[in-house]
Structure 1
Amino acid sequence: MTTHDQATPARASDDPDYAANLRRATLASSVGSALEYYDFALYGLASALIFSKVFFSGLDPAVGVVASMATFGVAFIARPLGGIFFGTIGDRLGRKWVLLVTIALMGGASTLVGVLPSYEQVGIWAPILLVFMRLLQGFGAGAEQAGATVLMAEYAPVRRRGFFAALPFIGIQAGTLLAAGVFVYLGTLPTEVLLSGVWRIPFLASIVLIGVALFIRLRLRESPTFVQLEKQEQVADSPLKEIFTSSFPSVLRGIGLRMAENGGSYLFNTLAVSYVVGTIGIGAWIGPLAVAVGSLVGMISVPFAGHLSDRFGRLPVYRFGAAFLLVLAFPGWWLLSLGNPVIVIIVIAVAIGFGVNTMLGAQCAMLPELFGNRHRYIGVATSRELSAVLAGGLAPVLGAWFIAITGGAWLPLAIYVFVLAAITLGTTFITPETRGRDLTRLQDAVLDSDEDVRTRPTAMVSKKEHLARSSFVGGSR
């Protein structure tokens, strides 16, 4: 066990400066997460309900929905490029300044979507400009969430890393909730009012979140583990080379862990909304309301899952979430096909709130713990964004295509969710447990020896449990 590991758990309470920086890092990461997922949820819901009519009005309605979903997925082409580009900079120059650039790029592109001309105004240039904005958004987002994840894991007290690393992801739920709430209201408006320009207002409002995030991040200090890396002159000259030579097994594990979490998120946040509104024909406000309820549940379930991962390990919590989604796949999509508004809300909210977010809560600390200190940022970013292409980016497009060619059958969608969940569940059995790992180590977790694992800090226990254990030991003497 390193000195760093031993000191970290106490620092949050004993060192006021450390505690202040921990709070600042949590807030900085949370606001960024809120902006990213506000933008992505907003774009996803608009893709399902608006963009086919505004930017693809010259196409057949069913084809327009597929094209609209394709613009949603196109950002996932840029995300790995952004993750590699900014991840390399983050491992060479530090986490803070990368997070400033990515939030400005991502949020600026989202704001500009709100001023784009429609297809009726400029023809083919409308979808071209939309795709360009989406590419810019994806390029910035490719390193934003990875940076927030790494930053919080490196700042957090080691025995409570799962809980603290999960706290910024409340911002994901808040951003998704905000976007869904906006569309619940927009769904009650007459179609002609909505399409006349009201849909632009939520995108323009992104600029407020950008300003808040930039203000907070300018006051943020660099992560303590990166500072230690600089002091010891161990910063990697080529972190990208390290990732694709010595660290690729960890990247593959990260991708596998993300398939159900990321793919399931977009399938239930976006495609399910399009399915129940466009194919089943329920009210346009029902889908966004279901997403909003799921996000409310997630505001509790994500940090709670992070806390449980501190107590019982990352892998058991992760397996529960993957197994939950796997079991829900077939009955869940069948229930959605019935078109009952109450059932739709329950299924989407449960899938997001418990299935997806249980995995997310454990993942927040686990992905950074998988990688060594020299290439952690780019390792997390590469794992996240390659999986985002394979799972999140393809999910809405393939799903919309399945719906189109099968006339609205639910079975292919259920099979899709089942396969993604099975991949992630299987990956948990070839991934090492990482709870309590020293983040100053240069090698990946897969290379840790049995002695390395045995000397990690033990799980955090409550005061009540600590007193009970102390009494038992005292009595036995």
Structure 2
Amino acid sequence: MQPHEATQDEKPDIPVVSGKDAGKIARAAFVGTALEWYDYFLFGTAAAIVFNRLFFTELDPTAATLAAFATFGVGFAARPIGAVLFGYIGDRVGRRPALLITIVMIGVATGLIGFLPDFGSIGLAAPIMLAVLRLMQGLAVGGEWGGAMTIAVEHAPIEKRGRYAALVQVGSPVGTLMSSGAFALVLLLPSEAFDAWGWRLPFLAAFPLLLIALYIRLQVEESPIFRELVKLEERAKIPAVDVFKQAWGRLLVAIAAAFLGVGGFYVMTTFVISYGTTTLGMDRQLMVNATLVAAVVQIGVVLLVGRISEKIGPGRMTFFGGLATAAGAFPLFWMIDTRNPAAIILAVTIGIALVSLAYAVTGALLTEMFPPHLRYSGVALGYNLAGALSGFLPLIAVALLGVSGGGSWTASLLLMAVSLITAAGGFFGEKLRVKDKAIVQ
């Protein structure tokens, strides 16, 4: 199905975008996304310092860590399925209904993790139930990011999409800050109390946060561009199928462009926390605190880069960000290997800042690579297929430590490879951008 080719004179066929509403919608999308990422990121931190000990206790330490990260990766594997499901709802029924469903799903799944008995209480059923709830998280997040980004961008004036897309991206570091902060607080408890009930508190907090997120999502209005698609009867019948049939090349480029923003982030957080505590013997509080500092810096980087991308283009920024991260891969892990607390915090902070050069503009780039009638599905599939591939990077990085005898050079090579793939995605993505027609009031 071809998108409607309206001209500026055909004003009834051109969506009206209100500049004054763009900020409100983007902020609402940001708050909801921040709360949703908080739920999702909790699992990553817990996989590194809790689940490996309490849910996989019959395995040796390395095998337990691998099993915990495999469960962590299950959520990423489920995300493309969520992208197809919620992409269908978002491109057929509406962006807003899809976002309401995703926030409820992940809030409930995360809260229930806080009630799970551990392996010592119910045996094998504990890790199985953990994997099922992680699967629910993955399905919900598979539709969340694409929908939040799509509705924010489609409410924004075209020339200012970079800043509003970046505002939604800030939900990630804020979610990291909230989840890492929650764990930093409960880690202050005595070890026995932390293992018995302390680690559950951040997960149980998902229930009251869900009420906040749901209230915020109910204030979000439907996209004017989607309303125009309904009026013109231009909605795809099965959006995901049409993406693979009509826009498979764009989808491959979108996956490459999003790869570093997801994969690099988890290498510099989830894997580094595990590497620092298990291999280097560093205090887990230090490793979690490093992610807190990095998240604060990331917020500023994302907002600044979003503005810059409006001048040079999100594809070019992705290209430069990929090259910069590749150049820093080995120096970052050399700093971590010093075991110096200040060097570790600095390395994690710089690493996240470099990854954010590409991550900040992922939303702006992907939304402009797909036409409106395929946008929700295309953006969600591109981002979440990248997530499915990169979600297992911490697992791969841990496994490669055995090859290197505990040396970090394999992790550095892995980060470099991911960065170069994203640089290529940015280079080609800039050439594939399409512009919507809209009237700004």
Contact 1:56 1:64 in 2 (8 A): yes
**Deviation readout 1:306-335 (Å, 9 max, x if unpaired):** 110111211222122111110111111122
- Which residue in 2 is equivalent to 1:397? 395
Work out the CA distance in 2 between the residues paired with 1:32 and 1:11.
21
Contact 1:82 1:143 in 2 (8 A): yes
Instruction: Give the secondary-structure state (helix, strand or coil) at the position aligned to 1:43.
Output: helix
Contact 1:372 1:440 in 2 (8 A): no
Work out the CA distance in 1 between the residues paired with 2:298 and 2:224.
29
Work out the CA distance in 2 between the residues paired with 1:424 and 1:373.
24
- Give percent identity, aligned residues only: 34
One-letter code aligned to 2:190: P
- Which residue in 1 is equivalent to 2:377? 378
In the alignment, is residue 355 of structure 1 matched against residue 354 of structure 2? Answer: yes
Cα offset for 1:394? 1.3
- Which residue in 1 is equivalent to 2:172? 172
Instruction: Give the secondary-structure state (helix, strand or coil) at the position aligned to 2:236.
Output: coil
Contact 1:314 1:434 in 2 (8 A): no
Work out the CA distance in 2 between the residues paired with 1:34 and 1:100.
14
Aligned residues: 433
- Which residue in 2 is equivalent to 1:104? 104
**Deviation readout 1:4-33 (Å, 9 max, x if unpaired):** 999999942xxxxxx2x4344223311222
Distance of aligned partners of 1:100 and 1:119 in 2 relative to their CA distance in 1, 3 Å threshold: same
Q: Residue 409 of structure 1 is aligned with which of 403, 407, 410?
A: 407
Query: Equivalences for 1:430-469 in 2 at 5 Å?
Result: 430-433=428-431, 437-439=434-436
RMSD: 2.2
Contact 1:9 1:159 in 2 (8 A): no
Query: Equivalences for 1:130-279 in 2 at 5 Å?
Result: 130-279=130-279
Work out the CA distance in 2 between the residues paired with 1:319 and 1:5.
37
- Which residue in 2 is equivalent to 1:61? 61
Gaps of 5+ in 2: 1-5
Contact 2:69 2:392 in 1 (8 A): no
Contact 2:116 2:130 in 1 (8 A): yes
Distance of aligned partners of 1:266 and 1:142 in 2 relative to their CA distance in 1, 3 Å threshold: same
**Deviation readout 1:226-248 (Å, 9 max, x if unpaired):** 01111111111121221111110
Cα offset for 1:34? 0.9
Instruction: Give the secondary-structure state (helix, strand or coil) at the position aligned to 1:429.
Output: helix
Cα offset for 1:405? 4.5
In the alignment, is residue 284 of structure 1 matched against residue 281 of structure 2? Answer: no
In the alignment, is residue 365 of structure 1 matched against residue 364 of structure 2? Answer: yes
Larger Rg: 1
**Deviation readout 1:383-442 (Å, 9 max, x if unpaired):** 111111111x1111111212244432101100100111111112223233467x43359x
- Which residue in 1 is equivalent to 2:321? 321
Work out the CA distance in 1 between the residues paired with 2:175 and 2:417.
28
When structure 1 is superposed on structure 2, of 129-138 and 32-41 the one drifting more is 32-41
Contact 2:71 2:134 in 1 (8 A): yes
Distance of aligned partners of 1:426 and 1:56 in 2 relative to their CA distance in 1, 3 Å threshold: same
Cα offset for 1:178? 1.0
Gaps of 5+ in 1: 13-18, 442-456, 458-477
Distance of aligned partners of 1:324 and 1:187 in 2 relative to their CA distance in 1, 3 Å threshold: farther
- Which residue in 1 is equivalent to 2:3? none
One-letter code aligned to 1:398: I
TM-score by length of 1: 0.87
**Deviation readout 1:105-163 (Å, 9 max, x if unpaired):** 01110110000001000000000000000001101110101111111111111111100
Contact 1:5 1:158 in 2 (8 A): no
Contact 1:325 1:355 in 2 (8 A): yes
**Deviation readout 1:35-83 (Å, 9 max, x if unpaired):** 2221222111111011111111121122111111111111112111011
One-letter code aligned to 1:394: F
One-letter code aligned to 1:362: V
One-letter code aligned to 1:317: M
